[in-house]
Structure formats: structure tokens, C-alpha cells
Chains A and B, each alone.
Chain A
Amino acid sequence: MRNINAKKIVDTVADLCVKANCLLRQDILRKLKLVYNQEKNIRAKNALKAIIENARIARKEKLAICQDTGLPIVFVELGQEVRITGDFKKAVLKGIELGYRRGNFRESIIQDPLERGKPAYKGAIIHIDITRGSKLKLTVLPKGFGCENKSQLKMFNPTATLKEIKDFIVNAVKSSGADACPPYVLGVGIGGSADYAGFLAKVALLKNINAKRTAFERDLEREIGKLDIGPMGFGGKITCLAIKIESYPTHIAGLPVALNLSCHALRSASATL
């Protein structure tokens, strides 16, 4: 057994919150620069230039990349040989509060979805997975809600064709238009159950967007490229920076497909203890 003190978790989560919100992921930045160099449409090119410049300013001045510092989604991979001394969940929440305060981030979380009330730093979604070994991996993904609002779930019949699934995904991006800060990164969860497909779609956003694409991902990219939405909605082929699909076993009676859209400011940071 290896002991990890909850205090160490507080500090790590706090650091990850600051890092995720102020330093744009290298894979995203790399792709943005690539498409900037390829873009011919002047308005779209200027929008990409502003996005890249914004990332530079945020990094240099320790400002949040986006004022919507999101709902923090925390992914935990806890090695089964690890023993946490102290209260684990409290430590994660405390780390978030500390990090968000330190970064002067926005208080965007309300305690009661119906009553609303004054927003604060209190709250996060925590996904915990037990893994082999004696390490603890923490990932913070601050999810902005302009794009989270565009999420969709469809429970297809098991006999649905690939084309039907593709149309559903392409139409979801189409209906998002310019509202959720394109160019998007599209996370797709296929299989599992209704809730698990949604989780998979979120997990897909953690993948390196420049990693090798599957044939289906490439096909979707081509179709979405035809929508002519483009950066900030100004047209062109760059409506999505990447499409990432995660799949999982499912039931003979169903075929859940969930979409989780991310704006161009896809933020996440990880640390392993």
C-alpha cells in the first residue's frame, strides 16, 4: 500500500485548475496554427489569428483563456494499491476552490439548478476509476457551457445504419452553428448506456486531437467540413479541429450515441502522483 495525503491532492488539483484554464493544450494550439496557415478565407483567418493571440496573452498574463472557466470535470484514476489519508472528495473540491480563487476565475457554479442563487466555486463532476498499481492520476477539464449546451444524446435502434448515425452527428454540429465558438472539437460516445455514452463523449475530449484518426472519424470530418460554418461562423472547411470517438459494449436492443461539443478553447490538464 502506498499512502497519499489528501493535502497533496488539494494542491495538485489547485495547480491543475490554473494550468488548464490559462495554458491552452499543446495539441489544440498546434492544430490551430496548422489550420491558420491553411485558411484562405480572410475573415476566418482573422478569427483564428485572434484565437491564437488570445492563447498567447492568457499564457503570458496568467489570465483565463475564456471567462467561462467552466464546470470542472475531474477524472480520477486511482491505483488499487493507493490509500488516501484524509477525505478524498473533499480534497478535490477544496483543490478546485483554491485553484479557481488563485486564478481569479469566474464563479460559475450554482448550488440549486432550479433556485439558482449566487454563483460560487463550489462544485465539480468527479469521475472515479479504479486502476491497477500504486499511482493516482488526476485530470481537470473545465467545461464551458456555451458548448456543453449543444450536447446531444440519441438512442438509436440497433439496426441503425452508419449513415443515420453520421447524419445525427453532422446535424448536431449544423444546429450549433456559430453559437458555441467554432472551430469545435467533437467528442462522440457510442455504445454503453444513455449515461455512459455521455461519459464516453466527454472522455473523448481528453484524447490528443492530433493522434491518428479512424476511418469513421475522417469521414465525419469530411462531412462536417462541408457545413461551411468555419471559425466564428465565417465559413470555410475548419468547422471542427477534430472528431474523437470512444466506443463501448452495449445491449442487443440499442445503440446509444452521445455528443459532447467543445469550443476551440478545449482545456484540460493532468498530473500523476
Chain B
Amino acid sequence: MKKIVSPLSQKDILALRAGDEVLLSGYIYTARDQAHKRMLENLSRGGELPFDIKNAVIYYCGPAKTPKGKAIGSCGPTTSKRMDAFTPFLLKKGLKGMIGKGNRSEDIRRLIKKYKAIYFLAPAGCGALVSRCVKKVAPVAYPDLGPEAILRLEVKNFPLIVGIDAQGKNVYRF
């Protein structure tokens, strides 16, 4: 299984193919519906994104609360498709990787190819399992959104499958 690090390098991305299994380590940012909406509102007002998006990876996830003695609670992926409307703007700003579950729209598949980015699938519905890969959590932005706030997760060997690669190949046929 290939090991890769986030922030991602273009070389690593280009070497991956849809269906490949990888272990991701490094820093990723959680963001789901409301965080995406707010990031876009900020951008459209001429504001900045709350983290350095260059080569960054966004994880579509809103974790459960953190039990005592753990780094994080259950934290599996949410349905990626709901973020499709916001993704083009973030790819344009330098976003390279996305982690979620399920398929993306045809538009997003094309844009992933255009920007030489990558879309990963996390073990869907396996939040307890994924929580073991998260070593540290730091708040980044929008704490008023509760579980939809942006967090920076330090992950180690997060098991992923490449869903859409930089050539635009998709692991799903439907």
C-alpha cells in the first residue's frame, strides 16, 4: 500500500490511479456543508480562506464529540456530492485533495482532471475505525458551527482508496 503525506505533492498525486489503496499521513482539514458555504461567502466578499489551501486536503467530516482520553470521537466521511457546488472555487484556489464518500458530479470529475487534483474515499460508515488514525485535533475556524467547524486533524496512516485520480479516471461506473 502506498504511503503519502498531506499537504500533497503533485508528484504523489500524479502517481496514483483510481482504485489504488493509500495510507495518508499529515495534516488535513475538516469541512462540510456550512463551512463550505461560509468559506465561499468570505471569498466572494474578497476575504481569505481560514487556512492555507495550497496543496491542502479537505476531509468532508463532522466528528462526534471527543470522549475523555481520546484524540477524537467517531469521525467517518459524509456524502461528498453535497459539496460539489462549492468545490470548483476551492480547486481554483489550490485545493488538491478531497476525502469523502460516494461519487462526485461529472463537473467535479472534469475539474479534478483539469487541476490535477485527487478525490479519495474513506471507509464509509466506519467512524470508530477512522478515529484511530487521528492523532491530534486543532480548531481552525467557525466554532459557532459546532460539529461543522473547521478542524485541522493530524492523521497517521488514514486508509483511503483513490476515487477519482488526476487523469479523471473514476473508480465508480455509476
Contacts and interface: CB of A to CB of B under 8 A. Distances in A.
Contacts of A105: 64-65, 73
Interface stretch (A59-67, A78-86, A91-99): A59-67
B144 interface: yes
Interface string B126-156: 1111011000000000001111100000000
B65 A65 contact: no
Nearest to A65: B128
Most-contacted residue by chain B among A47, A63, A104 (CB, 10 A): A63
B123 interface: yes
A246 B160 CA distance: 38
A177 B103 contact: yes
Contacts of A232: 101, 121, 123-124
A67 B101 contact: no
Contacts of B101: 146, 178-179, 181, 232
A153 to B, nearest CB: 20
A149 B61 contact: no
Contact of A116 (B34, B75, B121, B126): B34
Interface string B64-78: 111100100111101
Given A118-B146, A146-B78, 13 more contacts: A53-B129, A54-B127, A54-B128, A61-B70, A66-B74, A68-B76, A104-B65, A106-B64, A118-B145, A177-B174, A178-B172, A179-B103, A263-B125
A263 B102 CA distance: 12
A128 interface: no
A64 B73 contact: yes
A158 interface: no
A64 B127 contact: yes
A229 B121 contact: no
B122 to A, nearest CB: 10
A65 B76 CA distance: 9
B67 A177 contact: no
B40 to A, nearest CB: 15
A62 B131 CA distance: 12
A67 B148 contact: no
A72 to B, nearest CB: 14
A67 B153 CA distance: 15
Interface string B91-131: 00000000001110000000000000000010111111101
Most-contacted residue by chain A among B34, B76, B171 (CB, 10 A): B76
Interface in A39-62: 43, 47, 50-51, 53-55, 57-58, 61-62
A11 interface: no
A176 B10 CA distance: 32
Contact of B62 (A43, A106, A234): A106
Nearest to A106: B64
25 contacts: A50-B126, A51-B123, A51-B126, A53-B126, A54-B125, A61-B70, A63-B64, A63-B74, A63-B127, A66-B125, A67-B62, A67-B73, A104-B73, A105-B64, A105-B65, A106-B63, A106-B147, A119-B145, A120-B146, A146-B78, A177-B102, A177-B172, A179-B103, A181-B101, A232-B101
B28 to A, nearest CB: 15
Interface string A215-247: 000000000000101001110000000000000
Given A54-B127, A119-B147, A63 B76 contact: no
A177 to B, nearest CB: 5
Can you list the 9 inter-chain pairs with the closest CB atoms, starting with the nearest?
A179-B102, A54-B126, A181-B125, A64-B74, A104-B65, A58-B128, A67-B127, A54-B129, A67-B74
Contacts of B174: 174, 177-178, 227, 229, 233
A51 B124 CA distance: 8
B78 A68 contact: yes
